[in-house]
Structure 1
């Protein structure tokens, strides 16, 4: 069956131009256009000054030049709370937010979390439009992913792609791994950092955080579920609390003989290089040279495993650490303190 689309120039009874446009726009285009209309009023540009130049890293996050920086953010409440990346605002002496209507306002830093590269700002104005976090646990590989932000300082830009992978990990500037990272091929550029990655309903599924410059189509966003939890902590407490053992550790391979003798499944552990007697944590039972292989009933194979286990719920609570000492497994008690200056 042939379908003929007639324009006004083809005679009477023809479709209006708006009707023709509606037909010509396929479902994908319509989705992206509708998302752009819904989300764009909530996306802001962030300008900072007095910021130190960071060391170059494989996952580039976008700075202009020393002392100046630019990034993106988005409104999560009508009373002025904004979400962006920690690396966009870290160390800045002044932070200003450019709204979609081009109004430029001073912003207050509410809190930041280097471990997840999330920060919250506050501006004081009326008429803001907020967007909401979606449940990233329901995100599927292959679904539409739309990134919005201000690449290279250009006011407002949109790119579209798909969710390429879920459950990735990414090393933050603090040295910790960010878990539950969403990978997308929606193009990001320096300045997109802190902008929203949204689904086809215009709800946030991630906070754009990094690109890998030598690669094509490898872009990453902190998942909305993780970002939402961190944002809540930053708004209510100004920080995210984490446990601290007061040790320096390094990955070490375990010999097959040691593993079999101690009935260990992991091939690695965390060897304690030094113990800091700073009084923050009760770590007197730990010794330099101990190899940590378990914490509070959980296996520990890497430093990252230990970081994941040292949550705010561990602070001030005694727990058993399983270590290898003189080649034999034994349990010692510790009480984590609170990590500060993170």
Structure 2
């Protein structure tokens, strides 16, 4: 007679989910940490140079360009960066864009390879992300968590104006003091966001790396600033009712919450309650889809806007102006 033999699971052979999670975080941290530097920027006064800001920065080119937050560099023009291996370099501020909270600085070409920039458009809520910073010189400060939300908005100040940074990533990966400007990486070690503590309140937020932010980075590298077109709309994404989908062929749009006074949108006749369907024949359904149409080349160029109003689709013509940061 055959006797059944029970087998005791081998703990060494089993796959522990916690160990798998830990292994991923350890691997990504080891890969990303060499790309992240501690950043200190300086101002000049009657008593000489003094520190005006500090945070982290991410090396993204082989010739020494680093990406950080605009609020970290403030109005400074120079400073220093220290990599995790102790290598120090003087840096100059190449350009800063308060409306995206992104800035580019440059030091001498480092020995470390540049980070690989990913695409935040591929992120999903619940996905593992790892935040790496270099706060106050504490190299390789790592926290891990998941994507808690996408498409968030946070307020910033630019000059005397209050602006909104759109399409921000929210994560429960805690940000340590000084981690602003550091890297938010996916499980493959690609940089999908630049961490920002501009909103305060202990929120884990990051400016996404996507098509729009890549254009901003390119403009900062080329001109040191970003020229934007301005319509004067405050909007939010909205799903269209089935009947409207049938009539317009659009499933989503941007609900106009407010039309700013004396703006191109007001002069074009837009109203609160309108739903913006397309701009210049390009469908708009979220903040980024509209923002990517409003860079320098759109300034002064008439744009046809398709709008859903009181159940009917109408067309209006707006001429964007250059956004004034003052």
Q: Name the TM-score, length of structure 2 as normaliser.
A: 0.70
What whole-Å deviation, never above 9, does each CA across 1:292-313 have from its counterpart, x for those lacking one?
557896699xxx9998864333
2:206 match: 221
1:38 match: 31
1:91 match: 75
SS across alignment from 2:125: coil
Change (3 A) 1:267 1:197: closer
| Larger strand proportion of the pair | 2
Taking the TM superposition and a 5 Å limit, the aligned residue runs for 1:77-226 are 77-174=61-158, 175-210=162-197, 213-214=200-201, 218-225=203-210, 226=212
Structure 2 CA distance for aligned equivalents of residues 267 and 76 of structure 1: 37
> Is 1:236 the counterpart of 2:225 in the alignment?
no
Aligned length: 277
Native 8 Å contact 2:277 2:305 kept in 1: yes
Change (3 A) 1:241 1:69: same
Structure 1 CA distance for aligned equivalents of residues 304 and 124 of structure 2: 38
Native 8 Å contact 1:149 1:195 kept in 2: yes
Native 8 Å contact 1:79 1:124 kept in 2: yes
Structure 2 CA distance for aligned equivalents of residues 235 and 340 of structure 1: 20
What whole-Å deviation, never above 9, does each CA across 1:134-173 have from its counterpart, x for those lacking one?
1211111111110011234433311111111112122233
Q: Which runs of 5+ in 1 are unaligned?
A: 6-18, 53-65, 252-264, 276-282, 323-329
1:178 deviates by 1.8
The structure that has the greater radius of gyration is: 1
SS across alignment from 1:232: helix
1:267 deviates by 7.7
Native 8 Å contact 1:206 1:224 kept in 2: yes
1:77 deviates by 1.2
What whole-Å deviation, never above 9, does each CA across 1:36-73 have from its counterpart, x for those lacking one?
11111111010012289xxxxxxxxxxxxx95321001
1:78 deviates by 1.1
Native 8 Å contact 1:147 1:186 kept in 2: yes
Q: Name the TM-score, length of structure 1 as normaliser.
A: 0.67
Structure 1 CA distance for aligned equivalents of residues 302 and 228 of structure 2: 15
Structure 2 CA distance for aligned equivalents of residues 297 and 125 of structure 1: 44
Task: State the Cα RMSD in Å.
Answer: 4.0
1:236 deviates by 2.9
Structure 2 CA distance for aligned equivalents of residues 4 and 297 of structure 1: 58
SS across alignment from 2:215: helix
1:314 match: 298
